[in-house]
Amino acid sequence: MYDALTTSYRLSCPRHGKTSVRLSRFRLVDELPGARHPAVYRIVFACGCGDEHPGLVSHDDLDWAPLGLGAGEFLNLMTSRVEPLAAELGDLAASRIGAGEWPWSFFCYPEDQPRPVFPSSFTLLAAGEGAIGLAVRCPHCRRLSLNLVSEPHVDLPFHNDREVGVVEHVFPGDALRTIEEFGAELWSAGFDVRRLSLE
Ligand SMILES: [Zn+2]
Ligand SMILES: [Zn+2]
Cβ 67 vs Cβ 92: under 8 Å: no
Q: What is the distance in A from the centroid of ligand 2 to the CA of 11? A: 31
Of the candidates 170, 179, 191, the one whose C-alpha atom is nearest the C-alpha of residue 108 is 170
How many Å lie between the centroid of ligand 2 and the Cα of residue 137?
A: 8
Ligand 1 centre and the CA of 10: distance in Å?
Answer: 12
Arithmetic mean of pLDDT, 64-75: 67
Let me know the angle formed at the C-alpha of 139 by 135 and 142, rounded to the nearest 5 degrees.
70
Per-residue model confidence as pLDDT tens digits over 8-65: 999 999 999 999 999 999 999 999 998 788 899 999 999 999 999 999 999 989 988 8
Between 107 and 196, the more confident residue is 107
CA dihedral 56, 151, 66, 144 (to 10 degrees): -60
What is the pTM for the complete model shown? 0.85
185 Cα to the center of ligand 2, angstroms: 20
Task: Give the per-residue pLDDT at 91.
Answer: 64
Per-residue model confidence as pLDDT tens digits over 130-170: 899 999 999 999 999 999 999 999 999 899 999 999 988 88
Mean pLDDT for the chain overall = 85
